[in-house]
Amino acid sequence: MQKNIKAVTFDLDDTFWPVWPAIGRAEQEMAVWLEEHAPQILEKFGREGLQRLRDQMATRKPELAHHISLMRILALREAAEQAGYSPSVGEQAFQVMWEERNRVEFFDDVEPVLRWLRNQGLILGALSNGNADIDRVGLGEWFDFALNALSGGAPKPDSAMFTKAASLAGCLPSQIVHVGDDLVSDVQGAANAGMVTVWLNRSGEADAAAMPDFEINSLAELPGVIDGLRSRQP
Ligand SMILES: [Mg+2]
């Protein structure tokens, strides 16, 4: 199968940067801010209480549950109000968290591979279920488009985001290589949508359930995969 590859789409969290350190720092920064500016919120809810409030919001508004930022904002607004502050205090707390959440540390192989792909004239898209912002994290210049669970219509592995990516890239799903660390949301989702799938397995652990078209341990291996796809003659 020779493939006329036109575009490459990437997952973000744990594909371009480790997500949990960023979220941990973001939660911590928000707690510090709350302690200084709205201590009653933490006193009344604690960090676990805020998490519970967010879960309750998601249960109450299941149609918006995948809008992670909105769930956080609604929960913080309510927490602020219940603790005797203006709801806007909750929004300010969210901003503090949000800025830190987008202060991520890229894996070393990210920028070289993006440069290589751009030099190949490939269209690049970001497909994330999370609420990182491609411009804020500093990768916006490389990407033609970015979708999340909200703008993409539904969280991965649903086909909606992948289908929308193909329409934004102006090509067939089969002309797109999707790269991600998650076997379900990335590999299964992209495969169902008809894309070529690359599983980024950074830990190198074996997984019997893995059925990607390609498996790589580092993004440095991606150019080889793409070259291989393009040079296969029918
Ligand atoms: Mg991921």
Q: How far is the CA of 109 from the centre of ligand 1 (A)?
A: 16
∠ CA 174-129-71, nearest 5°, is: 155
Quote the CA–CA distance of 106 and 25 in Å, as a whole number: 15
At 131, the pLDDT band (50, 70, 90 cuts) reads: confident
- Delimit the domains of the chain by residue range: 7-17+106-231, 20-101
Q: How far is the CA of 125 from the centre of ligand 1 (A)?
A: 14
Q: How far is the CA of 180 from the centre of ligand 1 (A)?
A: 6
The residue type found at 80 is A
Q: Judge whether 8 and 117 are in contact, CB under 8 Å.
A: yes
Q: How far is the CA of 37 from the centre of ligand 1 (A)?
A: 33
Q: How far is the CA of 205 from the centre of ligand 1 (A)?
A: 16
The residue type found at 112 is P
Q: How far is the CA of 55 from the centre of ligand 1 (A)?
A: 21
Architecture of domain 20-101: Up-down Bundle (1.20)
Determine the number of helices (DSSP H) and then strands (DSSP E) in the chain.
Answer: 8, 6
**DSSP states of 131-146 as a string?**
---TTTTT-GGG-SEE
Could you read off the pLDDT of 2-39 as tens digits, one per residue?
579 999 999 999 999 999 999 999 999 999 999 999 99
Class of domain 7-17+106-231: alpha beta
**pTM reported for the whole predicted model:** 0.89
